[in-house]
Amino acid sequence: MLNIEDKDKVVEMAQFGIFYGHKKTKTHPKMKNFIGGRRNEVELIDPEATVQSFNKAAAFLKEKIQNGGLILFVGTQAPAKEAIKSVAEDLKMPFVDFRWLGGTMTNFSIIKKRLDHYESLKAKREAGELSKYTKKEQTQFSKEIGKLSRNFEGLKNLVRLPDAVFLVDSVIHKTAVAEANKLGIPLVALIDTDDNPEPIQYPILCNDHAKSSISWIISALKEEVK
């Protein structure tokens, strides 16, 4: 049974389309127990299941963060980019909003070297140390910094392997899911009716493809964990 606070969450969640899944033909077999109905051929996630999964994930993240844990936030699809970057920056956590680099966790030492190289180039540019090179070489450095920025700017706070990974859509980020599972790093993920919840330790059952839904969930989580 939901308490009054959770019932209020259901009302607000409904306004942002959080319970909308996909058509029945796309529903993953492992998600069938969490379907609460159907509207215009679209499966609806059971509101109670969504609220309970949200509360469980929020409690886990809050405990991790309060104990100094490092959370890696991941959301590379257009509807998730802005919210992922915003929550990560507010919490001073690393994030991936451009594309997942294979081996980000399983080959962390290699990624760390590339990140250090990127930070070194930026520092040299800011200190004016690149001015001694020819204009052509300076242009090449600028292009390299720009290219590295897309992949590594969000990772500057990834000083070690994360204590948990938060991501939006486990299907799109299946490589990140596989890496986390291989290393035993807990996963919190927004998953929809077409996703398999089993590889995710803390799934949040919701609409993971609409910007309004993603933004509300992430904003609400941020308030919970502060």
Could you tell me if 207 and 192 are in contact, meaning their C-beta atoms sit under 8 angstroms apart? yes
Please give the model's pTM, rounded to 2 decimal places: 0.93
Q: Per the structure block, which two tokens stand in for 117?
A: 């190289």
Collect all residues with Cβ–Cβ distance below 8 Å to 68 and sequence separation of at least 6: none
**Is residue 41 scored above 80 in pLDDT?**
yes
- Span 75-82, mean pLDDT? 97
Q: Per the structure block, which two tokens stand in for 211?
A: 């910007």
pLDDT at residue 1, rounded to an integer: 67
Quick one: which of 164, 173, 206, 158 has its CA closest to 62? 164
pLDDT at residue 15, rounded to an integer: 95
44-46-52-57 Cα dihedral, nearest 10 degrees: -20
**Is residue 97 scored above 80 in pLDDT?**
yes
Q: Residue 32's pLDDT band (boundaries 50, 70, 90)?
A: very high
CA–CA gap between residue 190 and residue 16 (Å, rounded): 15
